[in-house]
A and B are shown apart, each in its own frame.
Chain A
Amino acid sequence: MWTWFYRLASPPSVYRIAAVATPWLLAGALLAIAYGTIDGLAFAPPDYQQGDAFRIIYVHAPSAWLSLFGYMVMAVTGAIGLIWRIKMGYAVAAASAPIGASFTVLALVTGSLWGRPMWGTYWAWDPRLTSELILLFLYVGVMSLRSAFEDPARGDRAAALLAVVGVVNVPIIHYSVQWWNSLHQGATVAKMGKPEMPGSMLWPLLSMMLGFMLFYAAVLSMRVRGEVLNRERQSAWVRAAVE
Chain B
Amino acid sequence: MSDGFWQMGGYARFVWPCFALAGLVLAWNLWAARRHHAAARRRVQRALAMNPGGDA
Contact = CB atoms under 8 A, between A and B. Distances in A.
A53 B19 contact: no
A105 B56 contact: no
Contacts of B30: 219
Interface residues of A, number: 42
A53 B33 CA distance: 32
Interface string A194-238: 000000000000000000000100010011011101100111001
B22 A110 contact: yes
Given A113-B14, A113-B17, A239-B44, A234 B33 contact: no
Interface string A96-111: 0011001101100110
B47 to A, nearest CB: 6
A58 B44 CA distance: 41
B37 A98 contact: no
B11 A102 contact: no
Interface string A55-68: 11011100100000
B53 to A, nearest CB: 10
A242 B18 contact: no
Contacts of A243: 48
Interface residues of B, number: 33
Interface in B6-27: 8-11, 14-15, 17-19, 21-22, 25-26
A184 B18 CA distance: 18
A42 interface: yes
A56 B28 contact: no
The A contact surface, by secondary structure, is helix
Given A113-B17, A234-B56, A242-B44, A102 B36 contact: no
Interface string A18-50: 000000000000000100010001100010000
Contacts of B14: 53, 56, 113-114, 116-117
Contact of A63 (B25, B37, B56): B25
A230 B26 CA distance: 24
A-B pairs, 7 with minimum CB distance: A52-B9, A229-B40, A222-B33, A226-B37, A59-B22, A226-B36, A53-B11
Interface of B: 5, 8-11, 14-15, 17-19, 21-22, 25-26, 28-30, 32-34, 36-41, 43-45, 47-48, 55-56
Interface of A: 33, 37, 41-42, 46, 51-53, 55-56, 58-60, 63, 98-99, 102-103, 105-106, 109-110, 113-114, 116-117, 215, 219, 222-223, 225-227, 229-230, 233-235, 238-239, 242-243
